[in-house]
Amino acid sequence: DTAVSQTPKYLVTQMGNDKSIKCEQNLGHDTMYWYKQDSKKFLKIMFSYNNKELIINETVPNRFSPKSPDKAHLNLHINSLELGDSAVYFCASSQVGRGSNTGELFFGEGSRLTVL
Amino acid sequence: AQSVTQLDSQVPVFEEAPVELRCNYSSSVSVYLFWYVQYPNQGLQLLLKYLSGSTLVESINGFEAEFNKSQTSFHLRKPSVHISDTAEYFCAVSDGGYSTLTFGKGTMLLVSP
């Protein structure tokens, strides 16, 4: 029933490891996003995909690689994790096409990544 | 480019007191405005939004916000807060299209008995 679901909710790992976070939405939206929330609660867009096509790629290290197998899924893979990658990562979705875009986002519960 | 300023990082109030959380934005085009709420250890939930029409918008739990174009503001108000309103509140702006929401830095509302 969850509209935007992310897994895992918590992730604790060592520096240098590679990890993935998965996201799925069942709202029928055509656009999905990854946001990073730092320790000061600041939310920053990382990536956006529209119908599986990358449309926004902010200044993010290329250790971060998003993948969208279909418009309902957007995964985030992170290579060679660093201490500064510790944050909460939020997946979100919206409907942009068909003249219905207002910018309203629907968020997942977040995935808290802790790098030791 | 758009930006959002939330002047207060933290607002402490007593239960049943009124509260106003301030939000100012800048944008060169027409905007859509949003307030999201984040309860501890949870994701962001939409509280209310201004898309068009009446400049005063309300949420189901007693919050309201007024879009003021001349002052480029979208302040959030509640006449009487509850302990359960304790949360982080984010103001956000969008111009539609493929641009994403731009968020303010958030205001922590702390309601004490």
- Residue whose tokens read 């007693």: B62
Amino acid (1-letter code) at residue B82: H
A4 contact residues in B (CB cutoff 8 A): 43
pLDDT in tens, A3-51: 999 999 999 999 999 999 999 999 999 899 999 999 999 999 999 998 8
What is the rounded distance in angstroms from the CA atom of residue A81 to the CA atom of residue B13?
Answer: 40
Q: Which pLDDT value is given to residue B16? A: 97
Two structure tokens written together for B97: 């299209």
**Does residue A81 sit in helix, strand or coil?**
coil
Two structure tokens written together for B19: 């509260």
- B68 and chain A: CB distance < 8 Å anywhere? no
**Domain B3-112 bears CATH identifier 3.50.50.100:** no
Q: Give the contacts of A59 (CB within 8 A, at least 6 positions apart).
A: none
- B83 and chain A: CB distance < 8 Å anywhere? no
- Domains by residue range for chain A, with CATH: 4-115 (2.60.40.10)
B51 contact residues in A (CB cutoff 8 A): 102
Residue B97's pLDDT band, with cuts at 50, 70 and 90, is: low
CB atoms within 10 A of CB A61: 12
